[in-house]
Amino acid sequence: MVEASSPSKHGAQPLPAKTEPGNYFVSNYPPFDQWRAETIPDFLQRLEEPRHADGPLGLYFHIPFCRKRCNFCYFKIYTNKSNSDIDRYTEALVQELKHYAKKPKLKSRSPEFIYFGGGTPSYLSIDQLHSLSEQSQKILSWEKVQEISFEGEPGTLNAKKLSAIKQLGVTRLSLGVESFSDHILAANNRAHEGKHILSCYEKARELNFAQINIDLIAGLQEETDTSWDVAIEKTIELAPDSVTIYQLEIPLNTLLYKHIHSAQAQPVPLHSWDTKAGWVRRAFTALKEAGYEQTSAYTAVKDPDSHQFMYRNALWHGADLLALGVASFGHISDGLYQNEKDFDHYISTVRAGLLPIQRSYELTQEEAMIREFILQLKLGWVNFDYFSAKFSVDMRNRFRAQLEALGQQNLIRADAQGIVVTSDGLLTVDHWLKNFYLPHHRSIIEQRSTLQSQ
């Protein structure tokens, strides 16, 4: 049933005048604060159910180790763990995978895509990487794997380690460049310098990785128009296969947020959302002129036919993700879960033969539909027939008011086949996706935003 309301109620609000603390990036649905420990038994029971028509399965390894903690980082990471701690952790990852592989829902399934994320996966030693890979393949076969993505921090990547990563079968190497300016990198507490970027990129090209991605962040501390233009120019000069650009946000668990609210600290100048959106627009315009095609709200690709991003595309179309490691987020057959956040508790739980789940959420059919819909909008287009076939829902009627309002604001264009998100819509997509949330979830987000801005 279409919610009875005027189209204006569902229109996108103007971008905030300034960047307020809090999360804006939409990575899942329902909101994480709706996930509960009380539903863990339901998720565990789901794992005991027999397999049926399976979609794609992905495997995610969270590697939570870094040389330094960036000012803007909100992930679960550690900068003070010993090599023996890391060995204990990678052993726990393997043990956790063994626990899952015994469950009827996952037994004998083979992943089609794998992601090493962090943190900094390239922080691991060559021996640790090889051991983790080899042991994991003995538990769940990698014979069907089509893509292995691997995140790397330029300062941790030399020729020897890059060669070892290539031997793991990595097809997509994603370099956390963020900026080419040594001054800006230092101001944001990044561990690497500009010289590390060029060195590791050249060596990675020599090894012929199938796809090299460069990450940039618009709105870092002390960024300027000039430094941003230089970052775009240097990126285009390197000619990576894809470029991913995010706009800086300030979650409450970041060093930047703590600095902003410290009585002793100097005021931190922050770029407005309008400024950040303008920089991203300039970047994508320049990339388009250089022969790239924008394939999502954040990514431009040189050759979309050759350089897909299966991890993203599959997840945003409802694929299962078996996520391993401290604080990681996974999705199995419409059951969402997050692992324990404490390092030692995670390891001790796995060693006790238990799954280290901290909270979960059981999706209704309607919530599963909305989850895929909002995530696919971030790709820049949605096909109505897909949702009719999978969920038996006519999205044009289900979200008529929202689509009309967003269309009037030139954020989307909708026709009988589907939705195309405009360039303006892609720049602001994470600010207006909440219009498609169920009313009680939307009110939670709006209330939280009000509290954070006070």
What's the pLDDT score for residue 21?
82
- Cα 227 to Cα 109: distance, rounded to the nearest angstrom: 47
Q: Which helix (DSSP H) or strand (DSSP E) does residue 421 occupy?
A: strand 418-421
Q: What is the pLDDT of residue 444?
A: 76
Q: How far apart are CA 270 and CA 347, in angstroms?
A: 38
Distance of CA 355 to the CA centre of its chain: 23
pLDDT for the residue 108: 86
Domains of the chain: 1-30+365-454 (1.10.10.920), 32-314 (3.80.30.20)
- Note if the bond before 30 is cis, omega within 30 degrees: yes
Residue 438 token pair = 């169920």
User: Could you give the strand order of the β-sheet that contains 335-339, starting from the edge strand earlier in sequence?
Assistant: 293-294, 299-301, 242-247, 211-218, 172-178, 147-152, 113-118, 57-63, 320-324, 329-332, 335-339, 357-362
Helix axis angle, 365-377 to 384-391, nearest 10°: 160
| Cβ atoms within 10 Å, residue 108 | 9
What confidence score (pLDDT) does residue 451 get? 46
The strand ranges marked E within 325-411 are 329-332, 335-339, 357-362, 381-383
282 torsion bin: left (phi>0), alpha (psi -120 to 50), beta (else): alpha
- Structure pTM? 0.94
Q: Which residue has the tokens 């009000």?
A: 450
User: Which pair of tokens denotes residue 58?
Assistant: 């992905």
Q: Which residues contact 406 (CB under 8 A, 6 or more apart)?
A: 10, 11, 12, 412, 425, 432, 435
pLDDT in tens, the chain (454 residues): 233 334 346 667 666 767 888 888 999 999 999 999 999 999 999 999 987 767 899 999 999 999 999 999 999 999 999 999 999 999 999 999 999 999 999 998 999 999 999 999 999 999 999 999 999 999 999 999 999 999 999 999 999 999 999 999 999 999 999 999 999 999 999 999 999 999 999 999 999 999 999 999 999 999 999 999 999 999 999 999 999 999 999 999 999 999 888 766 667 788 999 999 999 999 999 999 999 999 999 999 999 999 999 999 999 999 999 999 999 999 999 999 999 999 999 999 999 999 999 999 999 999 999 999 999 999 999 999 999 999 999 999 999 999 999 999 999 999 999 999 999 999 999 999 999 999 999 887 776 655 454 4
Alpha-carbon span 154 to 65, nearest angstrom: 14
Using alpha carbons only, what angle is made at residue 194 by residues 312 and 190, rounded to the nearest 5 degrees?
65
376 φ, ψ (degrees, to nearest 5): -70, -30
Beta strands in 202-349 (DSSP E): 211-218, 242-247, 293-294, 299-301, 320-324, 329-332, 335-339
Count of Cβ atoms closer than 10 Å to residue 125 Cβ: 14
Contacts of 76 (CB under 8 A, 6+ apart): 62, 64, 119, 326, 327, 341
- Residue 260: predicted pLDDT: 85
Q: How many CB atoms lie under 10 A from the CB of residue 270? A: 18
- Distance between CA atoms of 95 and 355, rounded to whole angstroms? 10
Centre a 10 Å sphere on the Cβ of residue 278 and count the other Cβ atoms it contains.
Answer: 16
Beta-sheet strand order (sheet of 412-414)? 381-383, 418-421, 412-414
94: number of Cβ within 10 Å = 18
* Structure confidence at residue 360 (pLDDT): 98
Given a contact cutoff of 8 angstroms between Cβ atoms, the answer to whether 184 and 221 are in contact is yes
